[in-house]
Amino acid sequence: MTAELVRGQNHPLPQTRLEIRISAGNPIVAGATLGDEQGTVHGAEWVAHPASPQLPGIEVSKQAAADHRLAVDLGALPEGVHRVTVLLALPTGVGGPVRFGSLAAPFAAVTGLDGAEVASYTITGLEAESAVVALELYRRQGDWKVRAVGQGYAGGLAAMLQDQGLPQAAELAAEINEAVARGMARSVAQPPPRPGDDGRVRTATAGGSSEPAPVPAQSQSPAQPQTPAASGTGGPVNYQHPGRRTATPPTPPPAVPPAAPGRPPQPVAGDASGWTMDERLYNQVWGMFEDLARTAAAYRSAVDFADSRMEQELDRVLSDPRSRIGAAADTARAEARAKHTALVDQARTALDRDLAQLAAEAEVVEPALPPAYARWGSPVWQGYQVPMEIPMALRLGDLHLPERTDLRIPMLVRLPLERGLWIDAGRSGSPEGALLDSGGLRKLASDTAVAIAARLMAVYPVGEFQPHVIDPAGSASASYAPLLESGALRAPAAGAQGVTSTLAALTRRVDLVQMAVRSGATDALPPDVDTAEQLLIVHDFPHGFDDRAVTQLRYLADEGPSVGVHLMMVADRDDARGYGPVLDPLWRSLLRITPVAEDHLADPWVGHAWTYEPSLAPAGSQVLWQVMGQVARAREAYGR
């Protein structure tokens, strides 16, 4: 049974091989010191930290992270060691919070190698401290015990190490902080994992604090972000690329001039781990998404703390009738407000610093993105060629937060799509949408669908992707002009008959491929079954749909993605309200995006509502015609 410790309490350890798990919600540095019977640390060689993570019997993380696992083998410790002290500290020089009081309480747990918890401790009561002794494993009469300590140090690592008797405490603290700032210890967690994850991690050092993330997600820890999911949908989606290799090669160090003292390192595009530049850029974008999420969350938490503290101080003044009025009361109120202003200003300074570093990184990364990740206005499209391989991910649009609306993070989703898309053509209350009438919103929704479909057609190799469009009333014909006139797309299916025949063909394909996969006879599919990825785009739903067609559409949304049939709905949900709750599962199964900027993508990791903005071709640009023309010529050349 797990022992939930309070400060000062101890608990016996039943075994000598253990794990110590730390969860903080924000990137922190974790380390450990070895001490003698008095707890004295005799030298730097008795300290395990990110720049030197291994000692006999102890191994700590090589990076700053929100989650840590420290490996401990008490039986392998040197003979003179009687105490192992677990240290936590906030990294300096890489942005982020500067004291534990602005963060959620760190949590530490001692577990066996099987993951079973032996003891746990939530470190509460921290305020101005930037370093803390979390736990202490100590030997008493031949047996090992764990004690909850929770001793904080406002002086940071140096003060904590000095308190343990280390002669060169200041020098070692500077070495640890320098290691973190240089990227020897990353301040960003890895993108969301899934079973069979290839362990990609971002190695770029960024201002602020894993992740998306876009995104961005599957068992999740509190420190791992999920891909932002539409509010009210069926939960996070796993966008992990199938069949990727299971080991990540080391990233060669970028040729970057050393940063001036006190300044962050110069951002470099592709400064992340991965087999290819595209994979490194993907991981770097994920890291930027996570950095922005953490930075904004830290700022909001600090402001909330300042508000709460001021309220408490004002309540104390008002609680005593004798001090509610007079000079003393006025002075107390002024001091409370001054403290609040100072705390908010400090948090804003840190936020502005981190956002400036992220903006500098975005300026470097955006021009280096490949077509699948780039905006339509990027020069990379001028040199576009039909690819030979399917990319890792696709850009659906941009994400931003209100703390700095001009800092846009690409919203990347993994390919092949594992979830359909719903482009909401209805009124949702967004400020931009309120300026358009219903016709304007529907036209913009169709343009958004075309931009996404064109990008999908452009980034897949010839013959690997086939779009189908259902447009019963022909309302979206103007938007599809670049695809139709170039010959890259066949004419949309129109009328009730077109709806019926298209849905029947795709439903048949799903049924046949599912049966072939289950029986292990994929080579026995009929020759008329197109094994390429299929995308069905539906306009004007439910116009032209009867009950059977609606059932087929729901079937494609549920079963299609697993066998390469994907759905994109361009619809106003209110138009289908006559079906009642029978369509609720359909809407929940799709990732909702909007044709105008709207803050509807919920991030359950940090509680943000991300504002999504679609990626459209610049006004007056011919980029869609040019790219679709090349796609059509490539298909013609290959006889597809």
> pLDDT for 389-428, tens place per residue?
999 999 999 999 999 999 999 999 999 998 999 999 998 7
Q: What is the CATH number of the domain that holds 543?
A: 3.40.50.300
Are 580 and 455 in a shared domain?
yes
> pLDDT for 166-216, tens place per residue?
888 889 998 888 887 765 433 333 333 333 333 333 333 333 333 333 333
Contact between residue 48 and residue 162 where contact means Cβ atoms under 8 Å apart:
no
Contact between residue 422 and residue 587 where contact means Cβ atoms under 8 Å apart:
yes
Q: How far apart, in whole angstroms, are the C-alpha atoms of residue 399 and residue 175?
A: 36
How confident is the model at residue 395, as a pLDDT? 97
Which of the pair, 450 or 52, is modelled with greater confidence? 450
**Assigned domain for 612 exists:** no
Are 104 and 118 in a shared domain?
yes
Which of the pair, 432 or 356, is modelled with greater confidence? 356
How confident is the model at residue 258, as a pLDDT? 52
The gap from C-alpha 306 to its chain's centroid, in whole angstroms, comes to 27
Are 100 and 178 in a shared domain?
yes
Q: What is the CATH number of the domain that holds 18?
A: 2.60.60.30
Are 441 and 580 in a shared domain?
yes
Give the 3-state secondary structure of residue 411.
strand
Q: What is the CA radius of gyration of the chain?
A: 28
57-61, 135-139, 185-189, 435-439: which has the minimum mean pLDDT?
A: 185-189
Are 574 and 466 in a shared domain?
yes
Are 405 and 422 in a shared domain?
no
How confident is the model at residue 461, as a pLDDT? 93
Are 197 and 176 in a shared domain?
no
> pLDDT for 3-37, tens place per residue?
888 888 889 999 999 999 998 878 889 999 999 88
- Domain endpoint, select from 415, 430, 464: 415
Structure tokens at 282: 């993907």
**Assigned domain for 626 exists:** no
221-235, 465-479, 513-527: which has the minimum mean pLDDT?
A: 221-235
Confidence of residue 442 (pLDDT cuts 50, 70, 90): very high
**Long-range CB contact pairs, 446-449, < 8 A, 24+:** 446/475, 446/476, 446/478, 446/479, 446/480, 446/539, 446/570, 447/479, 447/595, 447/616, 448/423, 448/570, 448/593, 448/595, 448/614, 448/616, 449/423, 449/476, 449/479, 449/537, 449/539, 449/568, 449/570
Q: How far apart, in whole angstroms, are the C-alpha atoms of residue 475 and residue 485?
A: 17
Whether pLDDT at 112 is above 70:
yes
Residue type, 555: Y
- Mean pLDDT, the chain, as a whole number? 83
pTM: 0.62
**Assigned domain for 508 exists:** yes
**Per the structure, how many domains does the chain have?**
3
How confident is the model at residue 536, as a pLDDT? 96
> Which residue in 280, 279, 466 sits closest to 391, CA to CA?
279
**Assigned domain for 70 exists:** yes
Whether pLDDT at 321 is above 80:
no
Residue 67 φ/ψ, nearest 5 degrees: -125, 140
> pLDDT for 584-621, tens place per residue?
999 999 999 999 999 988 887 777 889 999 999 999 99
Residue 279 φ/ψ, nearest 5 degrees: -70, -40
**Assigned domain for 124 exists:** yes
Are 407 and 473 in a shared domain?
no
Are 369 and 450 in a shared domain?
no
Structure tokens at 228: 């932002």
> pLDDT for 334-376, tens place per residue?
888 999 999 999 999 999 999 999 999 999 999 999 999 999 9
Contact between residue 535 and residue 557 where contact means Cβ atoms under 8 Å apart:
no
**Assigned domain for 633 exists:** no
Are 344 and 462 in a shared domain?
no
Are 53 and 27 in a shared domain?
yes
- Domain endpoint, select from 415, 435, 469: 415
How confident is the model at residue 371, as a pLDDT? 95
**Assigned domain for 623 exists:** no
Q: How far apart, in whole angstroms, are the C-alpha atoms of residue 30 and residue 49?
A: 7
Instruction: Provide the domain limits for residue 247.
Output: 189-255+268-415
**Assigned domain for 55 exists:** yes
Are 571 and 440 in a shared domain?
yes
- Domain endpoint, select from 399, 415, 431: 415
Nearby residues of 76 by Cβ (< 8 Å), 6 or more positions away: 56, 57
